[in-house]
Structure 1
């Protein structure tokens, strides 16, 4: 080894010994007679001093040629720092290495992205992604990568201890176009045929259950060719598991234990289990979203029964058209939102399909005041206030629309206001389950039912008949883990009866021929003694982002893509040679 210690290892107890360190020059300070260098590696920072009597005059002169990000090996004597000069920000801040030898291992050009914490202004994201090897040297990035390693190791250990088998499934598979677009890989051997990169190991893990491997787990790489957001990437990593002879409660209980373990190991927090649950229908009624943030209240209140008693035309016409009138109470909201602030909220909700925003302030005397108050009787306003638990200073915000529209608007308002009013601590964590999702969603454009999760999801036992009579009311054995208002994992109990599976395919407009072409191997396997089974996939990237209290998933991935699915460092995707295309039997159009 070129070093005896790392840059975060030495302590006052090592004083009087000799050590050799290797690392990058984080910063340097010339104090006239000698040089002070902060030497950095992923373990920490140690101050290296080039001063007599430890350092020779020749060594001091050579040290003055050092620059930021030079890679060096330095040997010296470990000594306590002089009184008052200790640095509590660093683990090795109580000592310094008084250099006796220096080896320059490599020089560095002046870095366009500084990894040093001493540089307070962070370079722009595009520049950091272009020079990711420099950005990854930053201590914050390194802490995040180490956190990611701890999370993944914790997951692997947890499931290994619980009898799960870690089994790899293929990366090159068959395209089964359901949901997001596949990434396709042309075959050189079979011209005109394509592999697809897996959106998940879904079908393979179901086959493993049929094969008798009743507890499967995998840290799986998955790929989806879809539009990106801050919390989404074209390639991502998930903790994928499947279990046989289980129901939804069994799968959920396994993940409850994992949540409690990682919260303790990573955050030092105790999370009581079982985690709270609510049905999809309850979540939509109370919070307007299927992944509600439970770090704060501000629940949605339904006023549809009271609204028609007013003379306010908007409310009356919406209710007459079968819509809903719902509201949230932003406690002490008048302190945050002046009339100009309310106007800004009105413009905000227009981006979510609202035509406007009705509102009331709760005055000092407890009455509700607004520019539309004249359309409401004092008694009706009193009923509004009581139902919304209005107190002086509160701001009541309404949405009148079809149910889905009110959900979209009030969820957006609720999220925005909570952040602006700081209704939760930055490091606060909330975990919950949403269960019993709808089996299907109706695609108005295509005029057909589509699977809410995927076509292999089992309906609730007492809802099987609804597949024939009323698919819209059919609820699934589906469950999502929600952390701080983000879906952190989703799973279902699968259909293990080939008859029910064919029935679901038929509902989705997948005829027998198409079903056989796409999923024939699964349909056949289901006829050879398939056990009841189910599982879940947990988004590792998103888990790490949430546990690290970050809001950009690119910050927890070593080499992420941009929102245009580009790798700025390697400049992928890129052109390929015509010879390669010819071997694949592929010709570019235009």
Structure 2
């Protein structure tokens, strides 16, 4: 049974004790990292979230405290009072390594069973065990450091936005389902049987309404919910830094957020972000990198070979061009040393992105090796090599197909080669880029209609308004994403603030006037009353913390995350509801037949 504090107060954190405290009597509290009995002395490493302090108990100091200290085991929670002294054997590798606490009194506040995971940095344990015992996983110093970074980041963001005239305002968690994008999480209503609230995928409509309300500059750090398939950087509930500004254009929003990023990275991790951040159109990003979130920490740009090979008598190339596609390639420096098995693996890799295969040309020391060389005249082969600026020792990797397939397969191949050949030399580099002028719409061949590439409230570029109904695929959006090291850090747009234009947008997206008003009527109604021009942006806070905290897994930056199947090992949620709850909601659960 644990001892009560009985008025005992902690006077300092373990990791804060320094040489300046020598001679002082202090009280520290925390968890036992380890306990070593060396004859007449007992050494305890005591840990709290600020660090570790060595505490020494001796028979000569206090026999009672020494005997009690000898009983404690790892993860016991204890309180120790004693005098700070200089260590006889200093440890310069730890902040408290020049001092130790001469323990005079000890309280065992609670005991601990042997933990199922080690409380140490760099833990290599199964994810399900870490998530099941998350409260122990969170005791680990590297995890606690991440959440201190998260706290610091949120505070720095709030301070910066406050200084720039933003008001922090909350928007509802229980709202109306407006399905257009990811699936909503639905919440049944007891008061309105058969009706449902939806958890917000973002505060999009409400922040636009706040602009109509005249608040000019709004932000919140807010939970959002999306019922979608998960991966390393997705969770069903995640956090956004959401902001909106009135009376602005694209450059105003982007410039302010560049300042926010510069401030955050400097204050939190001491990194200077050079401004202005590079800007690149969506078309340029796709043509050069095959991605709308290019990793710019290495080169190897995609080259269009379509003009060079337009007359080549090679069916793979000619068919792609005849069908309106393209022939594009990457030049891999040093790739001539790859064996056939490696090249075949790369061929299989691009097939996972719907490419039919990978053509290759290796410029070896004394020969040019390629399975397609027999289809090419000598001058055609030379033209390809010249266009690629390839040299001896290089490999040219070619994909021919419709553009969407070529871009995705070569874009992903570029990233795969960067990993395989260690092309990113500085793993700690932060390389930012704005992507602008996104396509307004994406066409779904299965449904036979256009979908909003960003969301239905995005303003088209002024010069493309004339094509909105006649040629929607040609329309570009006043949208912008901030990309960091190949990941989308945040995105936003200028919004439509004209009811007639918004209704026209819904028409292009396949909504009838009735269905548009049914889903979004409250926004369209608000737009009748003098809405200002406005736009905004949302950062993924979790993703930002991943970069600042040096992890590539979003679960490391969320205190109590779900697994890849949106299941919580800690609480075992989701779980069944009892019959009384279901009856009150008018819900009957229909079990799916096993396939």
TMscore range, shorter length:
over 0.9
**CA offsets 1:345-388 (integer angstroms, 9 cap, x no match):** 122222211222111122236x6432322322332222222221
Tell me the residue number matched to 2:33.
Answer: 26
Is residue 146 of structure 2 the alignment partner of residue 140 of structure 1?
A: no
| Structure-2 separation of matches of 1:30 and 1:379 | 80
Cα separation, 1, equivalents of 2:209 and 2:110: 52
* SS in structure 2 at match of 1:46: strand
Spell out, residue by residue over 1:258-294, the C-alpha distance to the aligned partner (whole angstroms, 9 max, x if none): 1111121123222121211111111111111111111
For 2:261, which of 222, 237, 259 is the aligned residue?
259
Counterpart in the other structure of 2:409: 409
SS of corresponding position for 2:409: helix
Give distance in 1, aligned partners of 2:32 and 2:393. Answer: 55
Q: Within 2, Cα distance between the matches of 1:330 and 1:30?
A: 59
User: Residue 478 in 1 paired to residue 482 in 2?
Assistant: no
Q: Distance between the aligned counterparts of 1:485 and 1:175, measured in 2?
A: 32
The answer as to 2:86 corresponding to 1:80 is yes
How far off is 1:581 after superposition? 1.3
Q: How does 1:335-354 map to 2 (within 5 A)?
A: 335=337, 337-354=338-355
CA positional deviation for 1:554: 0.6
Structure 2 counterpart SS, 1:236: strand
Q: What SS does the aligned partner of 1:371 have?
A: coil
1:325 aligns with 2:327: yes
Asked whether 1:91 is paired with 2:95, we answer yes
TM-score by structure 1 length?
0.96
In structure 2, the CA distance between the partners of 1:17 and 1:479, relative to structure 1 (3 Å rule), is same
SS at match of 2:14: coil
What are structure 2's unaligned runs of at least 5 residues?
A: 1-7
Question: Take 1:95 and 1:32, find their aligned partners in 2: how far apart are those partners?
Answer: 21
Q: Deviations over 1:52-87 (max 9, x none)?
A: 43232x3322222111100001112211111xx322
Q: Report the counterpart of residue 363 of structure 1 in structure 2.
A: 364
Residue among 109, 115, 119 paired with 2:113: 109
2:542 and 2:558 in contact (8 A); partners too: yes
Contact 1:426/1:549 (CA < 8 Å) preserved in 2?
no
C-alpha separation in 2, matches of 1:514 and 1:121: 52
- Contact kept, 8 Å, 1:208 with 1:216, in 2: the verdict is yes
Residue equivalent to 1:514? 515
1:512-570 deviations in whole A, cap 9, x for unaligned?
Answer: 11111111111111111111111111100011112222111011100111111111101
The TM-score with structure 2 as length reference comes to 0.96
Separation (CA, whole Å) in 2 of partners of 1:220 and 1:558 = 15
What SS class does the counterpart of residue 571 from structure 2 fall into? coil
Which blocks of at least 5 consecutive residues in structure 1 are unaligned?
A: none
Distance 1:432 1:213 in 2: 30
Q: CA RMSD in A?
A: 1.4
SS at match of 1:464: helix
Match of 2:4 in 1: none
In structure 2, the partner of 1:216 is 218
| 8 Å CA contact 2:25, 2:84 repeated in 1 | yes
CA drift of 1:571 comes to 0.8
Aligned: 1:279 with 2:281? yes
* 2:49 alignment counterpart: 42
What is residue 193 of structure 1 aligned with on the other side?
195
How far did 1:121 drift? 4.9
In the alignment, the residues of structure 2 paired with residue 342 and residue 87 of structure 1 have an alpha-carbon distance, to the nearest angstrom, of: 51
Q: 2:584 aligned with 1:583, yes or no?
A: yes
- The alignment covers a number of residue pairs equal to 583
User: Given that residues 15 and 95 in structure 1 are in contact (C-alpha distance below 8 angstroms), is that contact kept between their aligned partners in structure 2?
Assistant: yes
CA deviations 1:212-260 (Å, max 9, x no partner) are 1111111111111111111011111001111111111111011110111
Deviation at 1:32, TM superposition (A): 2.6
Moved more, 24-33 or 403-412: 24-33
Q: 1:572 to 1:298 in 2, by over 3 A?
A: same
Q: State the shift of 1:426 in Å.
A: 1.6
Question: Could you say if the C-alpha distance between residues 33 and 378 of structure 1 is closer, same or farther in structure 2, counting changes exceeding 3 Å?
Answer: farther
Any idea what the Cα deviations from partners look like across 1:280-330, whole Å, max 9, x if unmatched?
Answer: 111111111111111111110000111234333322222222221100112
Please show how residues 218-237 of structure 1 align to structure 2 within 5 Å. Answer: 218-237=220-239
User: Structure 2 residue aligned with 1:157, among 159, 163, 166?
Assistant: 159
Secondary structure, aligned partner of 2:15: coil
CA distance, structure 2, for counterparts of residue 317 and residue 582 of structure 1: 61
Query: Does the 8 Å contact 2:336/2:364 carry over to 1?
Result: no
Pick from 65, 75, 81 the counterpart of residue 69 of structure 1.
75
CA deviations 1:16-50 (Å, max 9, x no partner) are: 22221100001122223322111100000011112
